[in-house]
């Protein structure tokens, strides 16, 4: 039944008027959306922070002149690298997965070692 509703989403004041009304006034609507945008912002900021730290860690390890670099997984973990955050992943020809973190990429060579590369801009195709 569409007549169920009945309280402002923000302040819980009983609503009158249109059946699809969600807020008692524009002020409540504004506060509700501001809160929601703020929650979105904080969620995104937390993820961006992790990705940014991961990138910084990779950048600090890779010699600017080296095409590829082998690094121990433990070292990345010790520095705070979080493997469950990356900006992309793609299968490599050898059936492995190449993970991207911005302009860097890495793949597992073994359980303990990774190969780290600077990869340039990601393909948009």
Q: Which residues bind Zn ion (CB under 5 A)?
A: 8, 10-11, 13, 24, 28
20, 38, 42, 95 from 115: Cα distances, Å = 56, 38, 32, 15
Q: How far is the CB of 38 from Zn ion (least distance, A)?
A: 18
Q: How far is the CB of 30 from Zn ion (least distance, A)?
A: 10
Q: Are 71 and 113 in contact (CB under 8 A)?
A: yes
Nearer of residues 19 and 92 to Zn ion, judged by Cβ: 19
Nearer of residues 11 and 43 to Zn ion, judged by Cβ: 11
Residues 6+ away with beta carbon under 8 Å from 71:
61, 106, 113, 114, 115, 116
Q: How far is the CB of 36 from Zn ion (least distance, A)?
A: 15
Q: Are 115 and 106 in contact (CB under 8 A)?
A: yes
Nearer of residues 8 and 76 to Zn ion, judged by Cβ: 8
Nearer of residues 32 and 85 to Zn ion, judged by Cβ: 32
Q: How far is the CB of 28 from Zn ion (least distance, A)?
A: 3
11, 96, 105, 112, 116 from 70: Cα distances, Å = 57, 16, 12, 10, 6
């Amino acid at each position: 039944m569409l007549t169920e509703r009945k309280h402002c989403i923000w302040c819980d004041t009983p609503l009158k008027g249109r059946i699809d009304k969600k807020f008692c006034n524009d002020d409540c609507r504004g506060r509700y959306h501001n809160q929601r945008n703020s929650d979105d912002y904080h969620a995104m900021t937390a993820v961006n922070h992790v990705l940014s730290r991961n990138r910084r860690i990779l950048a600090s390890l890779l010699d600017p002149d080296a095409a590829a670099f082998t690094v121990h997984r433990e070292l990345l973990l010790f520095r705070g690298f979080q493997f469950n955050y990356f900006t992309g992943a793609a299968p490599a020809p050898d059936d492995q997965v190449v993970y991207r973190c911005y302009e860097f990429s890495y793949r597992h060579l073994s359980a303990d070692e990774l190969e780290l590369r600077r990869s340039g801009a990601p393909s948009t195709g």
